[in-house]
Every structure is written in C-alpha cells, then in structure tokens.
Amino acid sequence: MVVWCPDWSVVAALDEAERSPRSPAAVLSANVVEVCNGPARSEGVRRGQRRRDAQARCPDLVLLPASPDRDARAFEPVLALVEDLRPGVAALRPGLLAVRAPGSWYGSETAAAATACQALVESGVWDVRVGIADDLFTAEQAARTADVQSWAVVPAGGSASFLRGLPVDVLQDDGPRGRELVGLLQRLGLRTLADLADLPGEAVEHRLGTYGAAVRRRARGEDAALFAARTPPPELDAEVSFEPPLDSVEAITFSVRTTAERFVSQLGRHQLVATGVRVEAESDGVVCSSRTWLHPRHFGARDLVDRVHWQLQSSTVGGSLRARKDAGEVRAPIDRVRFLPEVVEPAAAHGEALWGGASDDLVERGVARVQGMIGFDAVRRPVLQGGRSPSARQALVPWGERAVDLRPVDRPWPGRVPGPAPVRVFATPPAAEVLDDAGRQVSLTDRGLVTGEPRRFRVGGGVLPWQPVTAWAGPWPTDEHWWSGGTGLTARFQVVSADGRAWLLVCAPDGWSLEAGYD
C-alpha cells in the first residue's frame, strides 16, 4: 500500500509560512519551479518553469524556498500516524510512503485504504490518496490515479494490464534520469508504457542500459523492488511540570536543570546529540512560547538551561510572562516546559579534539554570561556569506546560534572583486571624488567603461585629502536588482595612493564612495 500526499513540498512550506493552503504557490530551487500546487497549475504554472515565467502566468503566485529538511520534518507526523495503523512504514520521500498492505488487519484492502485515508484527513492532511497493488511501482501509479481522499486497488495479478494504458510521462517522477529517459522514449515514438513493455528485453538493455531495462520490467508489472521498513524513532522528548505554576523566569530556569540533564542523557544512551532543539512553554495547557534553537556544535544541559532563560526573558513584559507574538498575547504563569529534539546527529561526529575543548567551553560560558546581562540577540559573531561587495559578504548571527539562510559562498558571484579581501569595511561609506589627468570627474559609460584613468582622489569629511593614484585596477561592474529598480550600474576600483595604502572605491550613478581599505 502506497500513501501519496501530492505537492508535499508546497504543503509543508505554506504551513511553515502560515499561508492559506488554497493559495497558488510554488517551491523554487535555483529560480526554477520544483513543485507547484493545484491552484498554481490551474493558472498555467508548471514544474521546470523559470521564476519570471511562472510569475507571468500567475502574478499572485506565492514563491517559497526549497528545503528538504523542512519537508521531511513536516512528513514525520504522517509517518507516525500510518505507523500506528500498521507497523513497518517506509518513507520513500517526503509526501510518499509505503507499507505492507494490511488487508488482513482490517478485513479487506479497501477497508485498510479507507482507514488510512480517514485517519490522515482527521489529522489535517486534506489531500491524501492511496494505491494498493502487487508491487511498489504499480501501487504508486495506482495512488496517482486515485481521487482526493480516495484509493485505487489493482487486483492481484493485474499490474501489467493496469500499467499498459499509462503514458511514459509517469516515469518523470523518478528524478533527472527519469525525465531524460522520458524525453528519449518520446523521440523514439514510444508514448505509453505498453509500447515500452512490448519491446525485446535485450534490445532495451542494449539501447537504454541497465536503468532502461529496469524501467521496462516495471512497465511489465515485474518490479521486484523492495523497501526497507524504518525502525520507529525513540521517544526523545523531555518535559517538566510545575505545581503550582511558576511566574518567575529565575525559578523556571532553576527548575528545568534536572530535566535538561535527563534530556541530554537519554540522547547519549542512543549515541546521539542534538544540534537543534525546540523549547516549548505551556500555560494552562496552551503553548504560549515556542522557539527552535540551533547550536553550532551540540547542546549540553547548561546550553539548554540558558536557552530557556533567554527565551522566557525575551517574553517578559512588566514582570509577567507573555507569549511570543506569533503565539498570541497570553499572560499567565508557566505550568510546563518541554524539550523536543528537532535535529539529532551521531555523537561520534561531534567528538572532542585530541586535547579536549576546555578553552572553548570557558569562552562560551563567558559569552553566555554577557548574553544573560544584555540579551541573547545583543551578542553577535561575524560569519561569511556569498556576495559581490565586501559588505554584502558579511553577516552577523547571535552567538551560540547556527547561521542559517545565508547566501552560499561557493557560487560564482560575477562582478565580485578578487582577493585578498579588505581588512576594513566602512559601515557607512563616505563620499569620494576621483579625477583624471584633465581634472574631470571619472565616471562610467552605459557599457561599463571608464571615461578616463583615475589620477587622484579624495574622501569627504576630512577622511583623506587629495591623494595621487600610483596604481589602480578595475572596473568590476555590477547591475544588481535591475528587475526591481535597483541602484543601476555600479563598478568597484582598487587604487593605491602615494603613501602606499590601498583602497576600494565604488562608482555609482549618484557618485563615488570609499567602501573599504586594505592593509
């Protein structure tokens, strides 16, 4: 039995963004539509379209980033729910799972499919479809032919006849290899799985290789692929209840120490560590404060206690605890705190160095004390991200929090000034002037060419008086965000002044500025 939840990436992303599931939406990867939902398809959006083409078809399209971790995390409750009905669930990918057909448990295969559909719909999964067949491939195709909240059962021994009428397009869901094979089959004039199944096996393997021969066996209903049922994950949550409820941050922080130690210990018994933990605080049975914390290494008991303190302290207004804005305006004492592991990793991957990590621990404890005094977000550390300018490559994240949603460093970034990087980047670049031999202002043409060679420059505000230019390099032109009315054509120049110092100057449509200095 295969359970299919269509467009799962979009469903998970809309839920995370707290948007209506009926909104036309698409998940993008590298500015290409990876998955789109039904409302978007009705407007002409299709998988594989570029971003601007999809927006031209549907101006109201909600654009969402691709995140395999988010999709898998959102699909975990679906796996757990089906696992309660029939142990031995296998997650084929987010949105698709398989399990041995539990017909004997529920009287018939139809009754088993109906039970699974009802349980998932009642849990909030609106679009669910079930397929049952002799083999995995046929069961998946049966699920894709079923209606919303319905099922399709292929009779025993009927896989070959069921598959013959399907188009070869169904193979596109097998990833890049499947899409490449579909294109080849269509160019050869093969339109249905029956056309592929009727070809001689040796000829198919000779022309299409081992993968093509395996696809032919699937098309004939002879798929021998098996799936490995997952082992249900252990219960790793830990919580503590307060009776009577507590309304003091310090009292709550002191009371969760034992629970934090128990949480870390039970992870250690499974040879695991947590690098992402969600901390929830309840008031009268309602979650009034919830936040997921990420650690650059892994959480210890003291780290968890600190996170509880910071989370509740940031929610304290006028001496009472108030929930975060996204959970509603609730004022009440806390009666329960819960630790839930969001990201766990093998403990062996986080072993200490040869000489231990005592010095690092001392630094972290010192910074944690400072954060306790001035606030968690007030202490930040610099990290490197992708970008074209030195300032764009800088990012600041709170100390102790893992850097996420950063621009990738390994992209080409055309127009980026080559290394070495400057050692001083001005937060507010001061205005500058650059002149050529004739004393005219150097500027850029529409094609990114300079109107003259830089011979001298100065920086306003008394930063630098007129300086002769002994050497220069550039320009490195960029035209960013032109589709949204950006700053226009901008170019960067490296110049060396007569005193031997090097500077990075920026020529923009509104004039020159000093962006950075080299050592």
Residue 186 shares a structural domain with residue 87:
no
Asked whether residue 27 falls in the same domain as residue 74, the answer is yes
- The DSSP element (H or E) to which 246 belongs, if any, is strand 238-246
In a domain, 460, yes or no: yes
Cα(474)–Cα(266) distance, integer angstroms: 58
pLDDT at 519: 75
Same domain, 45 and 175: no
417 domain residue, yes or no: no
247 and 181 housed in the same domain? no
CA 228 to chain centre: 26
From the list 460, 459, 456, 464, the residue with the least C-alpha distance to 495 is 456
Whether 228 maps to a domain, the answer reads: no
Residue 419 falls inside a structural domain: no
Mind listing the pLDDT tens digit of every residue in the chain (519 residues)?
A: 999 999 999 999 998 888 888 899 999 988 899 889 999 999 999 988 999 999 999 999 999 998 888 888 888 888 888 888 888 888 888 899 998 877 667 778 888 889 889 999 998 888 899 999 988 889 999 999 999 889 999 998 888 999 998 998 888 877 778 888 888 888 989 889 999 989 898 888 888 888 888 889 988 888 777 677 766 667 888 999 998 888 888 888 889 999 999 999 998 888 888 888 999 998 888 888 888 888 878 888 988 998 888 888 765 543 444 434 333 333 578 889 999 998 888 877 666 554 455 445 666 667 777 776 777 677 888 888 888 888 888 888 887 677 777 888 877 787 788 878 888 888 888 888 888 888 888 888 877 788 888 888 888 766 788 888 888 887 888 887 666 666 678 888 888 888 888 888 888 888 888 888 887
Tokens 């100065």 appear where? 458
Last residue of a domain, one of 351, 379, 399: 351
How far apart CA 51 and CA 300 sit, in angstroms, is 43
Residue 233 lies in a domain: no
Q: Domain of 311: which CATH number? A: 3.30.1490.100
Give the C-alpha separation, 128 to 116, whole Å.
9
Q: Which residue has the tokens 């127009």?
A: 415
| Contact indicator for 26, 45 with CB cutoff of 8 Å | yes
**58 and 141 inside one domain:** yes
Residue 10, C-beta contacts closer than 8 angstroms, at least 6 positions apart:
25, 26, 27, 35, 36, 37, 40, 64
CATH of the domain at 20: 3.40.1170.60
Please say whether the beta carbons of 31 and 85 come within 8 A: no
Tokens encoding 262:
């128990």
Is 341 domain-assigned?
yes
Do residues 296 and 209 make contact, with C-beta atoms less than 8 angstroms apart? no
Structure tokens at 471: 């050497």
Q: What is the CA radius of gyration of the chain?
A: 30
Range of the structural domain that residue 445 is part of: 424-517
| 209: number of Cβ within 10 Å | 11
Q: Distance between CA 287 and CA 328 in Å, rounded? A: 10
Q: Which helix (H) or strand (E) segment is 310 a member of?
A: helix 301-314
Is the residue at 336 inside a domain? Answer: yes
Predicted local distance difference test score (pLDDT) of residue 323 = 39
In three-state secondary structure terms, 114 is helix
Instruction: Tell me: do 284 and 383 sit in the same domain.
Output: no
Task: Give pTM, 2 decimals.
Answer: 0.53
Helix, coil or strand: residue 426: coil
Q: Are residues 146 and 188 in the same domain?
A: no
Distances (CA, A) of 220 to 51, 100, 158, 161: 38, 21, 10, 8
CA distance 94 to 74: 8
Q: Which residue has the tokens 């934090």?
A: 260
- What torsion do the CA atoms of 317, 323, 325, 328 make, to the nearest 10 degrees? -120
Per-residue confidence (pLDDT) for residue 338, from 0 to 100: 92
Q: Are 326 and 251 in contact (CB under 8 A)?
A: no
Q: Write down which residue in 351, 369, 402 finishes a domain.
A: 351
Claim to verify: residue 77 and residue 166 sit in the same structural domain: no
Cα–Cα distance for residue pair 258/273, rounded to 1 Å: 17
User: Based on the domain organization, do 188 and 202 belong to the same domain?
Assistant: yes
CA end-to-end span of the chain: 66
How many domains is the chain built from?
5
Q: Is the bond preceding 477 in cis, omega lying within 30 degrees of 0?
A: no
CA triple 271-275-277, angle to 5 deg: 105
- pLDDT on residue 243: 87
Identify whether residues 59 and 149 lie together within a single domain.
Answer: yes
Tokens matching residue 53: 């083409």
pLDDT of res. 45: 92
Same domain, 127 and 50: yes
Q: How far is CA 304 from CA 227, 231, 374, in A?
A: 38, 28, 18
Domain-ending residue, one of 137, 153, 169: 153
> How many residues belong to the chain?
519
- Which of helix, strand or coil describes residue 282? strand
Can you tell me the distance from the alpha carbon of 179 to that of 62, in angstroms, rounded to the nearest whole number? 26
- Please say whether the beta carbons of 28 and 155 come within 8 A: no
Task: Tell me how far CA of residue 371 lies from CA of 250, 364, 491, in angstroms.
Answer: 15, 10, 40
Sole residue written with tokens 């630098």 = 464
Amino acid at the residue 431: A
In the prediction, which pLDDT does 54 show? 92
- For residues 444 and 470, membership in a common domain is answered with yes
- 224 falls within a domain: no
* Per-residue model confidence (pLDDT) at position 319: 41
Give me the pLDDT at residue 459, please. Answer: 85
